[in-house]
Chains A and B, each alone.
Chain A
Amino acid sequence: MDQDLRNTLARASEGLAVPEPDLPGLLARGRLAVRRRSAARRRALLAAAVIALVLGVGAALSLSSLRDPGPAGGPDPAPEPGLGLRDLPRGAPPTIPYCTGADLVTGTGAPVSGGCQTLVHRGGSTIGFDDEGVRLVDDGRLTLLDPRRPGPWVPALSQDGRYAAWITSAGSVGRLLVFDLVHATRVASVELPTGQVWVPGIDELGRVYVVNFENTGQTWVFDIRSGAMGRVRGMPFSRGGNATYVTADGLALRDSFYFDTGEKTSTSVEGVVTPDRRFVSRDVVPVGWSSWSTDRRRVVQETRDGFWVQSAGDLDHHVRLQVPTDGRVAASPVWESDDTVLMSFDPTATPGSTVGDPDQGFGMPTRRTWTLRCEADSGECEVALGPGNGGDVRGSMYR
């Protein structure tokens, strides 16, 4: 096996066409990263200075200092003091299943010993998965749905929590699995022509979308009620197979990403999938990768300015979630209810560590992760679970 692996990896590497580097773009993004890091450091230093003042260094703020904010329109205005994790009030634990150490709290029943795993929650249903398979998480118990690890993306849940769908891969063959979570039964197992696919979601017409990673032009739709599966025609190409979310009757594809364009938010092309499986573009909206509340009134997404909650009826109206600045959000936000969002937060991470800085440490192990709860109306946040809890709660992508 050792020599076979060496040969296989060497051949995979040698046969590769290497793209040309975009050095000007690389330098531009690097300079931007430097500026962002400097801004974060200034906020941290100012927060430390404020704390020192409060602790009784002896100086008192004078009115003259308050009257002199600096030159108007200056290139480097003083940033606001950063909000720290320790500044947040302590709230109740999550009302959806969560991990406490290695155990899984599923509801009013006793915790499931050793049951902590990656969780997906939507519409009142929760499933968990690890290398040993996918399970339905119910009050006090786990029910094995399938013994294979889903991959390469997390399972998707329907809006009402009734169905779950995901891909398993064996070699170059992919298989779509669909489960009825009310009865914990499998309703479909469909072999796919390729293993390079994922399930971004299930719309409210009961249709499961299967999208090719590298080319959204290859998208299939599986109708749960009829059991029919077919290719969606007219899908625009989106590099990287980035379907950003599923709507009530179709899906949205990434149009631009703020990381590439310098804009504050990403944008998506929304479209309807007709009964005869044609994609019809509808609109370009200022929403990228996101998670929608189960009542579809709001959406939460990350922007250049942090995490926003936007109203579905007026996407220009947004509330900024007051996430602490002494760390980073470690996983996708998940809607605990239609009014609150849960997020895993790592207080030891920095802007540099989010792109893999070995000096800061990697993997953000669970023992360092806190779970925050943020109110969608006010943006205010509190601590729902202290460090070592929360597992790896992820959010589905829905409208």
Chain B
Amino acid sequence: MGEDEDFALFAAARWSTLYRLAYLLTGSRPAAEDLLQVSLETVYVKWSRVRRMEAPDAYVRKVMVNAAVAGRRRLARRREVLSDRTPDLPSSSPEQGVLDHQLLWPLVCALPSRQRAVIVLRFYEDLTEAAVADLLGCSVGTVKSQSHDAVRALRRGIAAAGDREVVSES
């Protein structure tokens, strides 16, 4: 099998999983598609080496997460814009806890990219702090502080939603 065919099969098989991760990292469908395409193009450039790795999926994930975290700078060059679109979520059911998930997801989307990446890697990918640190190329201490800051921001957002300003001056 040629390298192109091999890469195409690899990308097709993992597209759905990677797209979902990209969506959680960016909070936007168009941004997720852009992120995923750009990341897979990077992988393609190195495919002859990547295909021989023990864990090519882990490499792709690393490329994508780091591209998302660096996204504001790179995207500032390209002037692409991220969105914090709220998906259509069903109303929460009692067995899932008292927190309104329709409130929490937009707050996650509003986090800075690095904090959002830490949250997604810890609570969606279920990675340990050490694994997240290795993936992001930072210390475990940085992961801990980013996670702490993110949760604090989320709690603040939840509290603020309770006494939101509604007056318009126009």
Residues of A within 8 A of B (CB): 1-13, 15-16, 18-19, 21-23, 26-27, 29-31, 33-34, 37, 131, 149, 151-154, 169-173, 175, 188-191, 195-196, 198, 213-214, 222, 227-229, 239-242, 244, 259, 288-289, 302, 329-332, 352, 354-358, 361-364, 392, 394, 397
A-B residue pairs in contact (CB < 8 Å), sample of 30: A1-B151, A1-B154, A2-B123, A5-B123, A7-B101, A13-B23, A18-B20, A19-B19, A19-B33, A26-B40, A153-B82, A154-B76, A170-B161, A170-B164, A188-B169, A189-B169, A190-B169, A191-B165, A196-B85, A214-B83, A222-B170, A227-B170, A244-B79, A288-B79, A332-B79, A354-B74, A355-B42, A356-B66, A356-B67, A358-B63
Across the interface, do B45 and A37 meet the contact criterion of CB distance under 8 Å? yes
A4 to B44, CA, bound (A): 36
Contact with A along B9-27 (1 / 0, CB 8 A): 0011001100111011000
A106 to B40, CA, bound (A): 42
Chain A residues with CB below 8 A from B120, complex form? 9
A217 to B154, CA, bound (A): 31
A330 to B73, CA, bound (A): 7
Q: Contact check: which of B7, B97, B155, B170 meets A188 at CB < 8 Å?
A: B170
A397 to B168, CA, bound (A): 27
- Rounded to whole Å, the gap between the CB of B110 and the closest CB of chain A is 5
- Rounded to whole Å, the gap between the CB of B19 and the closest CB of chain A is 5
Q: Contact check: which of A8, A21, A229 meets B170 at CB < 8 Å?
A: A229
Contact A4/B104 with A170-B161, A188-B169, A355-B67 known, Cβ cut-off 8 Å? yes
The reply on B132 being an interface residue by CB < 8 A is no
Chain B residues with CB below 8 A from A19, complex form? 19, 29, 33
A302 to B70, CA, bound (A): 19
Across the interface, do B77 and A153 meet the contact criterion of CB distance under 8 Å? no
A31 to B3, CA, bound (A): 12
Q: Contact check: which of A5, A11, A356 meets B89 at CB < 8 Å?
A: A11
| Nearest CB in chain B to that of A328: its residue | B77
Contact A242/B79 with A21-B11, A27-B8 known, Cβ cut-off 8 Å? yes
Q: Contact check: which of B28, B66, B76, B136 meets A332 at CB < 8 Å?
A: B76
Q: Contact check: which of B20, B34, B81 meets A13 at CB < 8 Å?
A: B20
Contact A397/B110 with A16-B20, A23-B8 known, Cβ cut-off 8 Å? no
Q: Contact check: which of A27, A229, A357 meets B4 at CB < 8 Å?
A: A27
Chain A residues with CB below 8 A from B73, complex form? 330-331, 363-364, 392
Contact with A along B146-160 (1 / 0, CB 8 A): 000001001101001
Across the interface, do B170 and A15 meet the contact criterion of CB distance under 8 Å? no
Across the interface, do A196 and B83 meet the contact criterion of CB distance under 8 Å? yes
Across the interface, do A30 and B41 meet the contact criterion of CB distance under 8 Å? yes
Across the interface, do A9 and B123 meet the contact criterion of CB distance under 8 Å? yes
A82 to B47, CA, bound (A): 27
A190 to B120, CA, bound (A): 32
Chain B residues with CB below 8 A from A363, complex form? 66, 69-70, 73, 137
- Rounded to whole Å, the gap between the CB of A98 and the closest CB of chain B is 17
Q: Contact check: which of B85, B104, B157, B168 meets A5 at CB < 8 Å?
A: B104
- Rounded to whole Å, the gap between the CB of B117 and the closest CB of chain A is 11
Chain B residues with CB below 8 A from A332, complex form? 76-77, 79
- Rounded to whole Å, the gap between the CB of B51 and the closest CB of chain A is 13
Q: Contact check: which of B7, B69, B85 meets A214 at CB < 8 Å?
A: B85
| Nearest CB in chain B to that of A149: its residue | B112
Besides the contacts A16-B23, A355-B39, A357-B63, what 18 more A-B pairs have beta carbons closer than 8 Å?
A9-B124, A13-B124, A30-B47, A34-B44, A171-B103, A190-B168, A196-B85, A222-B170, A228-B170, A229-B170, A240-B30, A302-B78, A332-B77, A356-B68, A362-B67, A362-B137, A363-B66, A363-B73
| Nearest CB in chain B to that of A242: its residue | B81
Contact A213/B82 with A356-B42, A356-B66 known, Cβ cut-off 8 Å? yes
Contact A27/B44 with A2-B123, A302-B77 known, Cβ cut-off 8 Å? yes
Contact with A along B89-126 (1 / 0, CB 8 A): 11000001101011111111010100000011001100
The reply on B86 being an interface residue by CB < 8 A is yes
A214 to B21, CA, bound (A): 19
Chain B residues with CB below 8 A from A131, complex form? 112
Chain A residues with CB below 8 A from B39, complex form? 355-356
Contact A30/B44 with A5-B123, A330-B77 known, Cβ cut-off 8 Å? yes
Q: Contact check: which of B89, B103, B166 meets A191 at CB < 8 Å?
A: B166
Chain B residues with CB below 8 A from A171, complex form? 103, 106-107, 110, 157, 161, 164
A23 to B11, CA, bound (A): 8
Across the interface, do A173 and B164 meet the contact criterion of CB distance under 8 Å? yes
Chain A residues with CB below 8 A from B104, complex form? 4-5, 8
- Rounded to whole Å, the gap between the CB of B55 and the closest CB of chain A is 13
- Rounded to whole Å, the gap between the CB of B100 and the closest CB of chain A is 10
